[in-house]
Amino acid sequence: MVKKTVQETTDSTKSNENISVNQAASGAEPPALEIPNAIIVGNLAGIMQIGPIDVIKQLMRLGHMYTINDVLDFELAAEVAESFGFDVYEPEEIKLDATSIVPSNDSPDSKDLIIRPPVITILGHVDHGKTTILDAIRNTKVVDAEAGGITQHIGAYQVVHNDKLITFIDTPGHEAFTAMRVRGAQVTDIAVLVVAADDGLMPQTHEAIDHITAAGVPMLVCINKMDKPEADPEKIKRQLSERDLLVEDWGGDIICVPVSATKKDGIPALLENLQLLAEMAELKGNPDKLATGVVVEASVDKRRGPVATALVQTGTLKVGDYITIRDLRGRVKALLNDQGTKIDHAGPSTPVEILGISGLPEAGDIFNVSPDEKTAKQITLEYQQTVANHTSKLEDAYTRIESGLAKYINLIIKTDVQGSVDAVLSMLNSLSSEQSKIKIVRASAGGITENDVMLASASDSVIIGFNSELQPGASVLATQEGVEIRTYKIIYDLTDDIAKALHGLLEPVFKDVVEGEAAVRETFDIGSKGTIAGFYVNKGKITREATLHVIRNGELLHEGAIISLKHFKNDAREVSNGNEGGVLINGFNEFEEGDILEAHRSEQVPT
């Protein structure tokens, strides 16, 4: 058994320090935990007997965005447990064989760490030259001395400059940048903000700045199109200063590099400055452990099956490894680099194609290597059995602030017109106090989009809409990612809800959901017990817990709970689409052939 020492927590985790202080005062030894090689966040919270929200918040303090269903490797799980005052043990049975390429999965000493390539993402407005810059870098600096170019594009690639590698994630949109963080993947080490010298900061530039700020990664500003006669770099620097972003020329600490991507001027300087930032960040990784990483993109190949492009973040990924991604698992059949060449292993910051996964993962999904097939099966089973906690962020705001888990309520404000933005912000600012503060992550006019939802998930924010249209895609994504959206028509209702949230008074909001619809085909009188309606399900399902609405000729006749639900002669928990059944409803017996039965349930918002 390998014992992990308790680390000191930072100033931002004072609530956790109190745990250790109380233990010391009582003379009690800190509790010891045995943590497996990989563990789901919810399960880690369970063995520590700490609320999952507390664990997720601590992960955020440590710079990681994870949900209750995500899988943590031993290293990160141990760090979280230690911050709560636990001593941590790693089971010996999950240690790797000494003859393996990866000798141990222990927490690395400094001698185990190696310098790894930086991972770069390029962001900016749609027509300011992001793709052109990527092409200029790709065509001149790709790691392929013989061919001089990429033979197979896999969504991520490496270039060499001054005999050192740089990894680029080829997803230049800020939506893709944040989509990865939404699923717990802090992939990018450095973000490059591209601004056209002949244009200036545009709406998507401001969005990109918001996303980079939310990610908390270093930023380099690249002023492109310097060959244009209308180029005005000083205008760009002035606009950046209005966003509290000062470049070095203006006395700040943000590196600014002028380039002309079409003429390939300034590209070497851009790469040199990226390497400088990487050296300052002292980016290191431990290759001698089980690999973890993030999926960049995935697709189904007719010949090869599911193929995932992934970036190895820690450890070394090898052919033959047992790999898990959410509820997917498999054994790595083949690895291909960004040139399409088969390789047998890939270390930290290396982009690679993975073959052998049982299904299709999503961009931003975390992959983990397990020591054996049994452990891989256990991890996927735990993932399937874990149910997400959907506590409302607004309802829980007061508790989180009081307990020290949060200092702010993070809000994203969307209004119908720009004039409403200032009015809403003014009223919200008046609600802040020393004890309960509101932090505006972003405020703008327009509809609530998928991009807003991804930013909200990445920054742990609630979206507040004032006379702002909710786009269908945003609603679906918010449900998937557990993002809370509240819309208002009256500004005083908006401010009242925020004020109640700050004072712990906000009541949960519920919505009515129609689960299914059935048509009555026949009735059966069963004497004093009532009348059973024989029905056929036309849509959805009828469940035992539902409230049934009896509708005749478009009018609602009755709402009642289900007393008995049967499929043929058997009691049933549900009767699904295309099946027949019988139902007895509390308080209603006057069924007629042709009546419509609607199954309703109450669902808390957000779902």
CB contact set of 92 (below 8 Å; sequence gap of 6+): 1, 2
Q: Is 70 exceeded by the pLDDT of residue 218?
A: yes
pLDDT in tens, 257-309: 999 998 999 999 999 999 999 998 888 888 988 999 988 888 877 788 888 88
Domains 117-282 and 397-507 equal at CATH topology level = yes
**What are the residue ranges spanned by the domains of the chain?**
2-95, 117-282, 397-507, 511-605
Q: How many residues does the chain have?
A: 607
Side by side, which strands form the sheet with 437-445? 437-445, 408-415, 462-466, 485-488
Reading phi first (left if > 0) and then psi (alpha if -120 to 50, else beta), residue 441 is in alpha
Q: Which residues make Cβ contacts (< 8 Å) with residue 147, sequence separation at least 6?
A: 339
Pairing outcome for strands 317-318 and 437-445: unpaired
Mean pLDDT of 140-148: 40
Output the CA torsion sign for 452, 456, 457, 462. Answer: negative
- Check pLDDT > 90 for residue 335: yes
Contact (CB, 8 A) for 347 and 318: no
**Spatial separation of the C-alpha atoms in residues 430 and 108, rounded to whole Å:** 49
Higher per-residue pLDDT: 322 or 489:
322
Q: How far apart are CA 486 and CA 507, in angstroms?
A: 13
Least confident range from 333-337, 489-493, 539-543, 603-607: namely: 603-607
- Whose CA is closest to 317, among 352, 283, 342? 352
Residue range 567-581: average pLDDT? 89
The number of CA neighbours under 13 Å toward the Cβ of 91 is 10
CATH: 3.30.70.100, 3.30.1330.60, 1.10.1060.10, 2.40.30.10. Which one for 511-605?
Answer: 2.40.30.10
| Proportion of the chain above pLDDT 70, given as a percent | 77
User: For the segment 473-482, what is each residue's pLDDT rounded down to a tens digit?
Assistant: 888 788 777 7
Checking if the pLDDT of 507 tops 80, the result is: no
Does residue 606 have a cis peptide bond before it, meaning omega lies within 30 degrees of 0?
yes
Per-residue pLDDT at 149:
34
Mean pLDDT score, 460-488: 85
State the Cα–Cα distance between residues 545 and 547, nearest whole angstrom: 7
Highest mean pLDDT, choosing among 189-203, 352-366, 421-435: 189-203
Residue in the block written with tokens 């680099």 = 337
- The topology under which CATH files domain 117-282 is Rossmann fold (3.40.50)
Residue 406's pLDDT is: 52
- pLDDT at 397 (0 to 100): 58
Query: Is residue 58 within 8 Å of 3, Cβ to Cβ?
Result: no
**Residue 271's Cα: distance from chain center in Å?**
29
Task: Indicate the CATH number for domain 397-507.
Answer: 3.40.50.10050
Query: Distance between CA atoms of 396 and 401, rounded to whole angstroms?
Result: 9
pLDDT of residue 8: 33
- Model pLDDT, residue 383: 67
Confidence class for position 387, pLDDT limits 50, 70, 90: very low
| pLDDT score at 597 | 95
Q: How many CB atoms lie within 10 A of CB 324?
A: 24
Residue 120: per-residue pLDDT: 92
36-40, 204-208, 437-441: range with highest mean pLDDT? 204-208
HSE of 561, CA atoms in CB hemisphere, 13 A: 3
**What is the DSSP annotation of 373-436?**
HHHHHHHHHHHHH-------TTTTHHHHHHTTS-SEEEEEEEESSHHHHHHHHHHHHTT--SSS
Beta bridge partners of 522: 534
Q: What is the pLDDT of residues 163-215, one digit of tens each?
A: 999 999 865 454 555 555 554 456 788 999 999 999 999 888 888 888 888 77
Classify 116 as helix, strand or coil.
Answer: coil
Task: Output the pTM of the full model.
Answer: 0.52
Amino acid residing at 362: E
Q: What is the pLDDT of the chain when averaged over all its residues?
A: 78
Predicted confidence at residue 528, as pLDDT, reads 79
Q: Is 180 in contact with 109 (CB distance < 8 Å)?
A: no
The residue with greater pLDDT, 152 or 87, is: 87
